[in-house]
Amino acid sequence: MTSVVDTAVDSAEETCDLVRRARLRDEGAFEALYRARVGALAAYVGSLMRDRAATEDVVAETFVSAWRKLDRLEQDDRFDAWLFRIAHNHAIDQLRKRRAVPLEGVPEPVDRDPWASPSEAYERQARAVEVREALLELAPDHREVLVLRFFGDLSHAEVARQLGKSEQATRALQYRAIGALRAKLIEPEELLQAS
């Protein structure tokens, strides 16, 4: 039986192996890296761009740049952080070209319950807007850890690599970020009643 820790180690070792092979111009290895990360990267870029076509462009540019510059990656185990930094830079460049101010929020939520009544759908949408606005008010490191973890759907280990922190430090940061988000979402009267 494989533990969660073993799975994370295997995943990190597998990533390093794929990166080493991709450096040797193994297209299959790079394709495996692409397939494993494109979803999380698109969610992250989408949180910055807030436009589907622009997000797709930035994600494509990111992987083309990564393929071309793979020899510049200094540590194979930092591939995720390096890839997300490339994506971040491309997104900011695109936003500057559009003369838009980057929204460091999250993608618009999609109501996935087809059976919800109109009032339930409206309430959920209104709550989603509240959450998004509260996220925008968080400190940048809090916002980033929550977007990567819950909208980028990255594991704790992947978020830790992206942020350049230990997994334990990332979990602590996430815990504090959730607390800060919760405090922004709870009405002052509810806080008084809770104490």
CATH code of residue 121: 1.10.10.10
Q: Is residue 108 part of a domain?
A: no
Give the model confidence (pLDDT) of 75-94 as tens digits: 888 888 889 889 988 987 88
Which of 66, 81, 103 terminates a domain? The answer is 103
Last residue of a domain, one of 56, 80, 103: 103
96 and 20 fall within a common domain: yes
Where residue 13 sits, what CATH number does that domain have? 1.10.1740.10
In a domain, 109, yes or no: no
Let me know: does 15 contact 80? Beta carbons within 8 Å: yes
Convert the pLDDT of each residue in 27-84 to its tens digit: 999 999 999 999 988 888 887 777 888 899 999 999 999 999 999 998 888 888 889 8
Return d(Cα 100, Cα 97) in angstroms, integer. Answer: 8
Give the Cα separation of 54 and 95 in Å (integer). Answer: 9
Which H/E stretch holds residue 44?
Answer: helix 27-49
4-23 helix and 27-49 helix, angle to the nearest 10 degrees: 110
Q: Provide the 3-class DSSP secondary structure of residue 90.
A: helix
Contacts of 87 by beta carbon, 8 Å cutoff, 6+ apart: 41, 44, 45, 58, 59, 62
Domain boundary residue among 59, 79, 103? 103
The parent domain of residue 69 ranges over 1-103
Is the pLDDT confidence value at 148 over 60? yes
pTM of the model: 0.55
State pLDDT tens for residues 94-143.
877 764 444 444 444 444 566 767 777 777 777 777 777 787 788 878 88
Q: Tell whether 33 is covered by a domain.
A: yes
Q: Are 95 and 159 in a shared domain?
A: no
Same structural domain, 163 and 190: yes
How does residue 191 score in pLDDT terms, banded at 50, 70 and 90?
very low
